[in-house]
Amino acid sequence: MDKLKVATKQTGVKQIAIGGGVAANSGIRGRLAAAEHEMGWKTYIPKFEYCTDNAAMIGIVGYYKYLQED
């Protein structure tokens, strides 16, 4: 959060979005929601069910490619 706050101050960015597996972290979600009011940001946090881990998706693709090999 400290680095994010510094970056937004340096750039003037006021819209923050998170995604992927990190967006499922309840601590991060809570801190971003609190910082929205503190810092004057507009935050975009997807619903929990849309917060998937990209590693799992890459793993399943690798598995199916492995099955296709002869």
Question: Which helix or strand (DSSP H or E) is residue 1 part of?
Answer: none
HEC string of 8-70 equals HHHHCCCEEECCCHHHHCHHHHHHHHHHHHHHCCEEECCCHHHCCCHHHHHHHHHHHHHHHCC
List the chain pLDDT tens, one digit each, 70 residues.
Answer: 999 999 999 999 999 999 888 899 999 999 999 999 999 999 999 998 888 777 877 888 999 999 998 6
Question: For the purposes of burial, counting CB atoms within 10 Å of the CB of 12, is it exposed (0-12), middle (13-18) or buried (19 or more)?
Answer: exposed
pTM over 0.75: no
Triad 49, 19, 40: Cα angle to 5°: 110
